[in-house]
Structure 1
Amino acid sequence: MGLAGGVPVAAFAADAQRGAAQADGPTREEMVSQLAEMRAQMAAMARRIDQLQAEVAGHAGAAGATPVAATAPASAPVAAPAPVTASAKAETPVVIEWKGAPKFETSDGWSFKVGGRINLDTGYSSSPAVGAPDEGFGSEMRRLRLRVEGTVPGGFGYKVETDIASSSAEITDAYLNYTDHGLTITAGQQNNFQGLEELSSSLNTSFIERAAFTDAFAFERRVGLSAAYHKGALLVQGGVFTDNAEDLPGKNYSLDTRLVFMPRIGKTQLHFGGSFHYTDLNGEDDTLRYRQRPFEHFTSTRYLDTGTFSASAERGIGLESAVIAGPFHASAEGYWQKVVRPGLADPTFFGGSFELGYFLTKGDHRGYKNGVFDRVKPAHPVGEGGIGAIQVNLRYDYLDLTDAGIVGGTQKGYEASLIWTQTDYTRLMFNYGHLDYTDAAYATASGSRAYGVDVFAVRAQLDF
């Protein structure tokens, strides 16, 4: 007997019986199939966890992290960890910060920075001397320097700086150093250790030019090997040097040492130091010549000049002191340069300076770091709602190049400066100097070699 749709009654009964069985739950065969499928999925998950764990171990291994092994059900097969590919290895992030120019640095000790400076000078000099070739207006690109510097893992550092202000490039700094627990060893073209103002960067001096004796006695960078130890308020420096890189090859050598005590009492920074310099002249022409410009560099006229004289060695002793107390600072230096002349009297020449300075803007003071004057950072710079830092300075500058039959002349300089530091990296400097000469290299129309010279100069400065 059939139904109206043509379906046999027996088939309909079988379907009804299977439907009733499914309503009561899955059959044994279906349960076995589902469990097998679930076990396969769990095994795949375990293999993926192991792979991810291996990748995490590759990133954390450099930091000493120990990965925790993933576990899977005992019944699930565990696949071997997948190999770590090159793309999964740890990469040290590069931090970029701005310090006048971009500085790139990593946490493992690498760093790299490009920088430089521009000093553009102009001014006017007036003198009663006859035949002084560069009286009147003058100007020059005093410095135009480019540099690269940075650090290398292991405590190493480097710096290469070139001055391209003149027609040919000149190396100023080119050295490699190593620092460990306050000890720094430096090899290459570098500053030797001849006084506070000489070692302070030209970016941070309170006058356009340093005191006259630093140039007259030919203080300059030289190629050599040096060591410096700094701990607390004590700084000890020393080294063995040859000539400046521009004068090599050569046979001269020098020894330089400097000792500085720089205690800080409350907010007052004190500085006391001394230096010793010895040069042995071993060139084919063992001669020296000391001379000096009038206050500024844009003129080539030297009113003080010993002329060329024979010598076998020179010995220099310097004393230095300074104090920075809020907006006020003072510094004083003296330097005695003795020349050894076999068979002749040994002359001793002397130079020294004393200066006072004061900031007219609130919150500003002179910078100081590691035994030298450092950057002035205006408390209220231009561009941030302020007018920058305004500083006034006075200096007495003395130089005597006459002794033991050598007549190079004597200078007494009375100098003033006004400095407007707009930002950490820009300055305008206005300088005036009156210099009284005795035994000058040039004479007046009446034949006198005792007279005064007036110089006014301006510098625009940028560094990065």
Structure 2
Amino acid sequence: MMNRKRLSVLLGATAITAALAQPVGAQSIDELKQQLASLAKRIEELEAKQAAADKVETKRPKISKEEPAFGLATDDGLFEVNLRGRIMADAGWVTDGDDSMNVKATEMRAARIGVEGKAWKDVKYVIEAEFAGNEVSLADAIIEYKTSTGTWKFGHYKPPVSLEEMTSSRHVTFMERASFTDAFGLGRNIGIGYKNGGDTWTLNLGAFRGKNDAGFEDEGYLFAGRATYGQEFEDGKWLLGASARVQDAGDGAYRYRQRTHSHLAGRLVDTGTITGDDTLFVLEGAMQYGAFHVASEWANLTAKDAAVGGGNATLWGGYVEAGWFITGETKTLNLAKGAWDRPKVNNPVHKGGMGAWQIAARFDRIDLTGDGVYGGEQDTYLLGVNWYLNRHTRFTANYAHMTIDKAFNVTANGADGENDADALTLRFQIDW
């Protein structure tokens, strides 16, 4: 496209050439002045049109200094689109004391690609496809509409329950989330939600009806809500939160089970299908102080009519963890999101540094026994090392020792319902 300077020069040269081509006597000085004034006005009009066009012209694709992905946006802020994705490649070695498992395997734990952006400024969207397991499935598919009193959310996403579940898998401390998040089924559903918050607090509510691949005529319902509050202090932050979920399976039913600390391994605690209706409550707390962090959650689930004699059965789970960046970074606690976020790496490898190194430990317990239900108790003692080459690239190594008791529903544990397991897992991940 011809710029304004070149356009002005060309029009001016054209007018002067036309004037000189005529006999000198045919024009007076006044006529030449009139023509030049007319030409100047025309140039101003063309420049105004060009300036208006420049305001809505789409920017060229670019990579920001903070995110390693292409983005497109308009200067007026009405439209935006950004590429997003993640790759998590795992390897695992898992054995148990009863010789029912001897895992030596690899997998793509996550392989996602998607886009996020804005449409007419107040409407945001996210859509992401998952390719892990040689199958294509839907991860997040969300539309958000921002109003003066909060944001409305529609689509396929996670109900607002638990600090660990609301934190992206890219930013959790260990390779797998706490046992209760998987055992109690904290996965994505299709629904509508409302969220509000400020610099120190969040409120999220949602109503859902079934998973994307449920396939039932009656998919039941799920209601969930979560609230958090925190504050900053010198060189640190703290956060407290609580969440609740009430769900009915409709034509389906619920079972509660959990793997040893590897997605490649089998499950040694399992209640079997016991109810179609449950209620879950979660309490959470977290603190970051300098390079050190601690976090803990406790979850209590009531399974309706699951106990012997027809009463309700109570199951529970929880964890406590601590971590320390030996290179001085901090585990970012985002109070406005009510979740952990990515750390800032002081000396990334691509700049000649050693990256960020973090060590962490966790005690995790899931108790699927009670009131005549014998799904088992699993205690996990977990150690981990995280090496962040940069903000978006991470290598993780975890070692976990599990002890299992009262797990009579799983034949791999033998008649006594007892077992133990050890897992060494490795992951290399990158996200954008």
TM-score normalised per structure 1:
0.82
Please state whether the residue corresponding to 2:38 is helix, strand or coil.
Answer: helix
Aligned to 2:92: 123
Aligned to 2:264: 298
Aligned to 1:48: 39
Q: Deviations over 1:47-68 (max 9, x none)?
A: 11111222233355x5xxxxxx
How many residue pairs align between the two structures? Answer: 398
2:312 corresponds to which of 307, 323, 346 = 346
1:270 corresponds to which of 213, 238, 248 = 238
Alignment of 1:215-226 (within 5 A): 215-226=182-193
Which residue identity lines up with residue 400 of structure 1 in the other structure? Answer: D
> Are 2:160 and 2:166, in contact at CA under 8 Å, matched by a contact in 1?
yes
Most deviating of 369-378 and 213-222: 369-378
2:226 corresponds to which of 244, 258, 269 = 258
Please state whether the residue corresponding to 1:57 is helix, strand or coil.
Answer: helix
Aligned to 2:355: 388
Most deviating of 35-44 and 134-143: 35-44
Aligned to 1:314: 278
Instruction: Tell me whether 1:365 sits opposite 2:330 in the alignment.
Output: yes
Please state whether the residue corresponding to 1:307 is helix, strand or coil.
Answer: strand
Relative to 1, partners in 2 of residues 1:93 and 1:167: Cα closer, same or farther, differing over 3 Å? Answer: closer
1:456 corresponds to which of 421, 424, 427 = 424
Superposed displacement of residue 232, structure 1? 2.8
- For structure 1, the 5+ residue unaligned runs are 1-32, 63-87
Superposed displacement of residue 443, structure 1? 5.2
- For structure 2, the 5+ residue unaligned runs are 1-23
Cα separation, 2, equivalents of 1:275 and 1:295: 25
1:324 corresponds to which of 285, 288, 293 = 288
Aligned to 2:345: 378
1:113 corresponds to which of 60, 82, 92 = 82
Please state whether the residue corresponding to 2:117 is helix, strand or coil.
Answer: strand
Please state whether the residue corresponding to 1:245 is helix, strand or coil.
Answer: coil
Please state whether the residue corresponding to 2:207 is helix, strand or coil.
Answer: strand
RMSD: 1.9
Aligned to 1:229: 196
2:389 corresponds to which of 422, 431, 452 = 422
TM-score normalised per structure 2:
0.88
Aligned to 1:73: none
Q: Deviations over 1:272-306 (max 9, x none)?
A: 000010002221x4x3211110011012x110011
Relative to 1, partners in 2 of residues 1:433 and 1:394: Cα closer, same or farther, differing over 3 Å? Answer: same
| Structure with higher strand content | 2
Q: Deviations over 1:389-412 (max 9, x none)?
A: 000000000010001111000011
Relative to 1, partners in 2 of residues 1:182 and 1:431: Cα closer, same or farther, differing over 3 Å? Answer: farther
Relative to 1, partners in 2 of residues 1:221 and 1:154: Cα closer, same or farther, differing over 3 Å? Answer: same
> Are 1:239 and 1:257, in contact at CA under 8 Å, matched by a contact in 2?
yes
Superposed displacement of residue 328, structure 1? 0.4
Runs (4+) of structure 1 moved beyond 4 Å? 33-36
Q: Deviations over 1:25-83 (max 9, x none)?
A: xxxxxxxx8795211210111111111222233355x5xxxxxxxxxxxxxxxxxxxxx
Superposed displacement of residue 437, structure 1? 0.7
Alignment of 1:127-276 (within 5 A): 127-130=96-99, 132=100, 134-181=101-148, 183-248=150-215, 250-276=218-244
Cα separation, 1, equivalents of 2:228 and 2:376: 32
Aligned identity (percent) is 28
Cα separation, 2, equivalents of 1:431 and 1:346: 36
Instruction: Tell me whether 1:413 sits opposite 2:380 in the alignment.
Output: yes
Aligned to 2:15: none
Cα separation, 2, equivalents of 1:90 and 1:203: 37
> Are 2:268 and 2:413, in contact at CA under 8 Å, matched by a contact in 1?
no
> Are 1:92 and 1:108, in contact at CA under 8 Å, matched by a contact in 2?
no
Q: Deviations over 1:228-265 (max 9, x none)?
A: 00123121100101122121454211100001002112
Cα separation, 1, equivalents of 2:219 and 2:338: 31
> Are 1:171 and 1:246, in contact at CA under 8 Å, matched by a contact in 2?
no
Cα separation, 2, equivalents of 1:141 and 1:93: 36
